[in-house]
A = this chain, B = another copy of it.
């Protein structure tokens, strides 16, 4: 049975439903399922931190199987940051374990007593709620240590840190990686605040004794999985010894900087003079020297292994999964060229439970507003501590870049739908700009990663500096991404399947073999389209209009060096994105 588990935090009632009884939900997993449930069960105009919002946790359709790179877990809710629908997905081990337990979704409803905290324990026998008052105020590292003491080393964990408890709009949900560290974060959109508003501090997932997963055709499944594995291991970007495996995602610093699209000092320039010092290549050498790990699987069933383990100067563990977007957010975006400081901020964000992108965006805006000087690494670290402590300044920054901009009267605030833009300037990677503008998620690079085609020339090439073809590119990527997010795949399989047809074919083949379906690639595409349209309809019902599908004026008015480009995809073209 595919289970949908409902946890009412007010009554403490736990109810298990058969997903097959929900015709609307049964063909979706991951983002597809979170978005369907949120859109049908959460009033679009409700307060994101109130009784009526729901936090939906859903592994992908293939989670729990050995499908390569299928370890993503989706969280969905109405976002306290954007005010719209939100899905944020994450690696770690939890999705795989939920999949093994036959749990397709956990829906956290209602609200607990103010000031009381709970831990949800899920295992083969069902689920139970326990007091987590003892964990109040603890950072993610400490909470996960305590959970492992109590429940054993092998459990999966979902936790929030102090930021989530304080219901900050930058608050993330941490998912433990295979080493049991809370380094993988569903960061975007403040879903940690929604979890906090429910009074839920932690979820423990123990898949001990889970029944074996049934396949409609296990041999076909294995064959399809091998096709995808081959594609990943053949493609230049994802193969062993390729850029992602050797340098991690931070390989992008030099690539994006060279492209003139590396947002520097709050998106005021496109190249950072200190890029080399914080590049993937530099990081690789530091890690090698100090005995961390340049390559590391952050997610169950991952064969790309883009993650890493970063040690401090004394060769002690400092942080893991130090990714490109984090390095950019606290590096170039803040004018900081010291990798150790950035790594320390990453550790702090992981521990306090914060989205590194949104926090970096907020600090960049605060620096533009004169709160600290650009380049002040020590100051930036102090600011992250302010957030963790919940001081007034921390409350501002912890509420995100848009709020920080208003608080400090800053005009150039790089957000869409109040969410901070990630590490690609939309003026110089225009496909990415289209995605930022039009995805229902608010500015989000993963929702339609046009960098793949604009810069890395996967799936063809669309000139990143010209407006032509960007809407079509972003549209196709957004649809495909929604489908992959539903299946539970890592977005990085996109590089390979854009270029290698056999890899692409493997997706419906695996779904068919697992569930006994007869889906074609067109069906997968249709599911992606349905997910996007559902999300967009929620946002419309929440009050969003086409004007919310726009970049801030300064991207259209202020040319970005070195290419001296503005964002010039016409509004009328942006409004065609949903013509499908």
- Do residues B47 and A409 form an inter-chain contact, with CB atoms below 8 A? no
- Do residues B80 and A47 form an inter-chain contact, with CB atoms below 8 A? no
Neighbour of A49 across the interface among B47, B395, B411, CB < 8 A: B411
Known: A543-B545, A553-B50. A407 touches B396 (CB 8 A): yes
Known: A50-B553, A392-B392. A407 touches B411 (CB 8 A): no
| A509 to B490 CA separation, bound complex (whole angstroms) | 74
A197 part of interface (Cβ distance < 8 Å) = yes
Please name 19 pairs of A and B residues whose Cβ atoms are closer than 8 Å in the assembled complex, sorted by A: A45-B547, A45-B553, A46-B553, A47-B553, A49-B409, A193-B409, A391-B392, A395-B396, A395-B407, A395-B408, A396-B407, A399-B403, A399-B406, A399-B407, A403-B403, A403-B407, A542-B547, A543-B548, A545-B545
- What is the minimal beta-carbon distance from A397 to any residue of chain B, in angstroms? 9
- Do residues A409 and B166 form an inter-chain contact, with CB atoms below 8 A? yes
- Do residues A47 and B547 form an inter-chain contact, with CB atoms below 8 A? no
Other A-B pairs beyond A399-B403, A403-B407, 4, CB < 8 Å:
A47-B553, A168-B409, A392-B407, A396-B407
A169 part of interface (Cβ distance < 8 Å) = yes
Nearest chain B residue, comparing its CB with the CB of A167: B409
- What is the minimal beta-carbon distance from A424 to any residue of chain B, in angstroms? 22
Instruction: Specify which chain B residues have a CB less than 8 angstroms from the CB of A407 in the assembled complex.
Output: 392, 395-396, 399, 403
Instruction: Specify which chain B residues have a CB less than 8 angstroms from the CB of A548 in the assembled complex.
Output: 543
Neighbour of A80 across the interface among B169, B391, B406, B550, CB < 8 A: B406
Within 8 A of B (CB), among A389-441: 391-393, 395-396, 399, 403, 406-409, 411
A469 part of interface (Cβ distance < 8 Å) = no
- Do residues B392 and A47 form an inter-chain contact, with CB atoms below 8 A? no
- Do residues B547 and A543 form an inter-chain contact, with CB atoms below 8 A? yes
Instruction: Specify which chain B residues have a CB less than 8 angstroms from the CB of A193 in the assembled complex.
Output: 409
A459 part of interface (Cβ distance < 8 Å) = no
A66 part of interface (Cβ distance < 8 Å) = no
A552 part of interface (Cβ distance < 8 Å) = yes
- What is the minimal beta-carbon distance from A36 to any residue of chain B, in angstroms? 22
| A570 to B414 CA separation, bound complex (whole angstroms) | 38
| A403 to B402 CA separation, bound complex (whole angstroms) | 10
Instruction: Specify which chain B residues have a CB less than 8 angstroms from the CB of A411 in the assembled complex.
Output: 47, 49-50
| A45 to B546 CA separation, bound complex (whole angstroms) | 12
Instruction: Specify which chain B residues have a CB less than 8 angstroms from the CB of A408 in the assembled complex.
Output: 395
| A47 to B406 CA separation, bound complex (whole angstroms) | 11
- What is the minimal beta-carbon distance from A575 to any residue of chain B, in angstroms? 14
| A49 to B408 CA separation, bound complex (whole angstroms) | 11
Within 8 A of B (CB), among A19-57: 45-47, 49-50, 52
Number of interface residues of A (CB under 8 A): 34
Nearest chain B residue, comparing its CB with the CB of A398: B407
| A552 to B46 CA separation, bound complex (whole angstroms) | 9
- What is the minimal beta-carbon distance from A456 to any residue of chain B, in angstroms? 33
Instruction: Specify which chain B residues have a CB less than 8 angstroms from the CB of A403 in the assembled complex.
Output: 399, 403, 406-407
Instruction: Specify which chain B residues have a CB less than 8 angstroms from the CB of A543 in the assembled complex.
Output: 545, 547-548
- What is the minimal beta-carbon distance from A564 to any residue of chain B, in angstroms? 20
Instruction: Specify which chain B residues have a CB less than 8 angstroms from the CB of A552 in the assembled complex.
Output: 47
Instruction: Specify which chain B residues have a CB less than 8 angstroms from the CB of A391 in the assembled complex.
Output: 392
| A190 to B271 CA separation, bound complex (whole angstroms) | 36
Within 8 A of B (CB), among A49-73: 49-50, 52
| A193 to B410 CA separation, bound complex (whole angstroms) | 12
Instruction: Specify which chain B residues have a CB less than 8 angstroms from the CB of A49 in the assembled complex.
Output: 409, 411
Instruction: Specify which chain B residues have a CB less than 8 angstroms from the CB of A80 in the assembled complex.
Output: 406
- What is the minimal beta-carbon distance from A391 to any residue of chain B, in angstroms? 7
| A390 to B407 CA separation, bound complex (whole angstroms) | 10
- What is the minimal beta-carbon distance from A567 to any residue of chain B, in angstroms? 14
- What is the minimal beta-carbon distance from A312 to any residue of chain B, in angstroms? 30
Instruction: Specify which chain B residues have a CB less than 8 angstroms from the CB of A166 in the assembled complex.
Output: 409
- What is the minimal beta-carbon distance from A570 to any residue of chain B, in angstroms? 15
Instruction: Specify which chain B residues have a CB less than 8 angstroms from the CB of A50 in the assembled complex.
Output: 411, 553
Q: Could you mark each residue 516-556 of chain A with 1 if its beta carbon is under 8 Å from any beta carbon of chain B, else 0?
A: 00000000000000000000000000110101101011000
Q: Could you mark each residue 194-215 of chain A with 1 if its beta carbon is under 8 Å from any beta carbon of chain B, else 0?
A: 0011000000000000000000
- What is the minimal beta-carbon distance from A543 to any residue of chain B, in angstroms? 4
Nearest chain B residue, comparing its CB with the CB of A541: B547
Instruction: Specify which chain B residues have a CB less than 8 angstroms from the CB of A409 in the assembled complex.
Output: 49, 166-168, 193, 196-197
| A409 to B197 CA separation, bound complex (whole angstroms) | 9
| A393 to B407 CA separation, bound complex (whole angstroms) | 10
| A545 to B541 CA separation, bound complex (whole angstroms) | 10
- What is the minimal beta-carbon distance from A502 to any residue of chain B, in angstroms? 45
- What is the minimal beta-carbon distance from A297 to any residue of chain B, in angstroms? 35
| A407 to B547 CA separation, bound complex (whole angstroms) | 25
